[in-house]
Structure 1
Amino acid sequence: MRIAVIGAGIGGLVVAAGLQSGGHEVALYERRDEPGAIGAGLTLFGNAFAALDAVGLGNVVRGVSGDMFGRLRSGQRTPSGSWLVSVPPSEATTARSLHRADLHAALVAELDRGTLHPNSRALVSAEGEPEVSVDGRTERFDLVVGADGIRSEARRTWGLDPGVRYAGYTAWRGVTAPAEVLSDEVRQATSETWGRGARFGIVPLPDRRVYWFATLSTPAGAAFEDQHRVLCDRFGSWHRPIDDLLASTPPEAVLRHDIYDLAAMPTRFVTGRGVLLGDAAHAMTPDLGQGAGQAIEDAATLVVLLRRVRDSGPVLDRALAEYDAVRRRRTTALWRQSRLTGMIAQQAHPVAVAIRNALMRATPSALMVHTATRLQRWSPPESVDEI
């Protein structure tokens, strides 16, 4: 089949590469002039790699990432540094860390020459017809995949847009300069520290850099004249190595964005011969670390379902219906759980924070691991065959 993919983010790249390797002709449209990863670090869990393996990209991504939880203590801490929940390396779930730019470059390299079309705003048909309009020229396809992010034009054009919701907090992200010698706090643990209406996460990368993120409950669109100074003032007194990480990050390299998710889940992910994927379908808060993972699952599910589909007849309808049912069920549960986790983590009232911390300390690490393992479990569907 001839398939158009709109959006060269992680999900768009994985589905384009996977479909292409399965024998489909793919055109990938990206509106930016120089497609690349806007962001910092990233953690991919076992479910993401199960999906990548299903489409032949697992080892590609392993090659630009490093084993994280398999060698580090992990869990949640308080600003003083005491552990609320601590999971030793021997019990932790599978996870690997990497830089988004490295992942993007590795996936782009898997595409055939001429597949990626930068500086191309591709518009879809409102009726879900398999066509896109680019620069006034309309091209026909057998299928159109909308992977164009949380503010998806495809979702809006197809009448599936529930709007977005501000989650109540803003987030900063950064990557330190390479360190000759990482501190013991970084070498021995990866953690997320929960304060009052604020969090700070630490994720070592495989190249002696450290990815960190910080959140702060604040009105949407709040202005901060000096982003780096705000971070130093708010988090500099928290446990080490937070102050060291901030000091090792160039101020101009700090990224900030308010956190949004979809206000509700779309009633469906498929309209005619158009299908939504990734944040375009189910943008969720980052509180479970599953945004990229779910986009990859979407991509792998679609690739596997279409593995034996060679035309746009009834068998394609069956494959799209299966994709819609499987992916809405899976992502709706995670979308809700991620929103709830963010609400708990961003608590600011002293009494609520005290109760939250007490409950976390009382929770066995084995239960936390079991819950995470269930969340991170994924297996590919059966390919759809001709009747």
Structure 2
Amino acid sequence: MAQAVVIGAGIGGLTSAIALRQRGWEVTVLERASAIEPVGSGLAIAANALKALDTLGLGDRVRALSRIQGQAGIKRADGRWLTHTTSEAAAGRYDDSVVVLPRAALMEVLTGALGPDVLRLGTGVAETDQETGAVRTEAGEELRADLVVGADGIRSRTRQRLFPGHPGPVYAGVTAWRALVPRGDLEIGAAESWGRGRVVGVSPLAGDLVYFYATDVLPEGVAFADEREELIRRFGGWHDPIPALLRAAEPAAIIRTDVHHLAEPLPAYHRGRVALVGDAAHAMTPNLGQGACQAVEDAVVLAHAAGAGDLDGYTAARLARTRRIMKRSWDLCRATKVRNPLLVAARDAALMLATRARPDLLVRSMDEVLGWRPPEETVSSRPRRP
């Protein structure tokens, strides 16, 4: 039986392990952390990732834990729509929509599908050999693999070993806040609102929770003694229900992070027997909501290619697509960072006029992203060694 070692137990790593096991691989997942801690934030899973999860038999489980976005789009800080669409329009075009759920819920689905004795926590990796597939842990244990999957995130050590000349992640110029907030009796609809260099996103989840996120242009490393009070200061004058959601947030539940991305794409997503997935391969700004979705796509495509012994095919299938999505995310990030009042007014007017000319602009603009389909199932019963 072919052996695979997956480094990292995030969304890309767990999904890769599941996809490989379903194709007959013996898989070991190594995770440096001693526990998989639930992250108190939400996650959008779009039509493209749902189709990938469907090939693993997990799509309906995710849908059952999620809430469909319904009407969604972009507003101004005063609440006026700039552009919007509906889940029905997306489903009619892509045979599926966008669902939102707590990140922890998706992780529970993935770990539950992984199977026993696959995940090894508290196991850091010291070295990988791209030619032989040897993996040496920090404890000195050596594992042999026909395939090594680097799923160790934006600060990936696996990526650094494969491409030592790559500059790595850079600061995107924005700080992000995220939180899960009780909805209470508030009327909540899904929307992202743009101001002068600032963004607020709101997505209702199943049950009594709302996923809230915000970004602002700040120097890297800036933090505040009371992040909730700082959010209220920056966004308390925005349209309803944003001020009420901020007041309802528990200060300890607010996660603040600086946004980093790979401004310089990698030349390939594999070398020898080692392949990269997710943020290790193509960390992007969150503006398209495709970071986790692309990791799920990676996993399904990698298992398909590795089963045929073709890691060149994995890079060929993923590199150009993810580069385009990285660029689109960065272009959106730059648009939201604009602070000059005249440029902001011009940006908003252009978006409104374009939507009036093409009411389906928002949904059509995502054709390349959401119209993706998983590779056809042409799998032999036993994987060939890459």
Aligned to 2:144: 140
Q: Please give the per-residue CA displacement for 1:136-155, whole angstroms capped at 9, x wherever unaligned.
A: 11111111000000000000
Deviation of the 1:59 alpha carbon: 1.9
Identify if the C-alpha distance between structure 1 residues 90 and 127 changes in structure 2 by more than 3 Å, giving closer, same or farther.
Answer: closer
Aligned to 1:363: 354
Q: Given that residues 192 and 202 in structure 2 are in contact (C-alpha distance below 8 angstroms), is that contact kept between their aligned partners in structure 1?
A: yes
Deviation of the 1:280 alpha carbon: 0.1
Aligned to 2:94: none
The farther-off stretch of 330-339 and 360-369 is 360-369
Q: Please give the per-residue CA displacement for 1:294-325, whole angstroms capped at 9, x wherever unaligned.
A: 0000001112234xx3xxxxx52xx2010011
Deviation of the 1:250 alpha carbon: 0.5
SS in structure 2 at match of 1:339: helix
The percent of aligned pairs where both chains have the same amino acid is 38
Q: Please give the per-residue CA displacement for 1:185-233, whole angstroms capped at 9, x wherever unaligned.
A: x0xx210010001010001101221001000001111131211110011
Q: Please give the per-residue CA displacement for 1:34-72, whole angstroms capped at 9, x wherever unaligned.
A: 11343400111100011111222212222322222xxx2
Q: Is structure 2 residue 375 aligned with structure 1 residue 381?
A: yes
CA distance in 2, matches of 1:67, 1:304: 29
Pairing of 1:96-115 with structure 2 (within 5 A): 96-115=99-118
Structure 2 residues without counterparts, runs of 5 or longer: 92-96
CA distance in 1, matches of 2:250, 2:131: 46
Q: Given that residues 129 and 135 in structure 2 are in contact (C-alpha distance below 8 angstroms), is that contact kept between their aligned partners in structure 1?
A: no
Aligned to 1:249: 249
Aligned to 1:312: none
Identify if the C-alpha distance between structure 1 residues 63 and 73 changes in structure 2 by more than 3 Å, giving closer, same or farther.
Answer: closer
Q: Given that residues 51 and 378 in structure 1 are in contact (C-alpha distance below 8 angstroms), is that contact kept between their aligned partners in structure 2?
A: no
Indicate which of 77, 80, 94 corresponds to 1:79: 77
Aligned to 1:130: 133
Aligned to 2:37: 36
Q: Please give the per-residue CA displacement for 1:156-202, whole angstroms capped at 9, x wherever unaligned.
A: 011253311211110000011353x3x23x0xx21001000101000
Q: Given that residues 305 and 381 in structure 1 are in contact (C-alpha distance below 8 angstroms), is that contact kept between their aligned partners in structure 2?
A: no
Q: Is structure 2 residue 180 aligned with structure 1 residue 175?
A: yes
CA distance in 1, matches of 2:230, 2:344: 23
SS in structure 2 at match of 1:35: coil
Deviation of the 1:384 alpha carbon: 6.6
Aligned to 1:150: 154
SS in structure 2 at match of 1:201: strand
Aligned to 2:124: 121
Structure 1 residues without counterparts, runs of 5 or longer: 310-314
Deviation of the 1:126 alpha carbon: 4.8
CA distance in 1, matches of 2:38, 2:167: 26
Q: Is structure 2 residue 48 aligned with structure 1 residue 59?
A: no
CA distance in 1, matches of 2:218, 2:132: 42
Aligned to 2:341: 350
Q: Given that residues 278 and 295 in structure 1 are in contact (C-alpha distance below 8 angstroms), is that contact kept between their aligned partners in structure 2?
A: yes
CA distance in 2, matches of 1:171, 1:126: 36
Q: Given that residues 8 and 150 in structure 2 are in contact (C-alpha distance below 8 angstroms), is that contact kept between their aligned partners in structure 1?
A: yes
Q: Given that residues 9 and 37 in structure 1 are in contact (C-alpha distance below 8 angstroms), is that contact kept between their aligned partners in structure 2?
A: no
Q: TM-score, normalised by structure 2?
A: 0.92
State the AA in 2 paired with 1:173: R
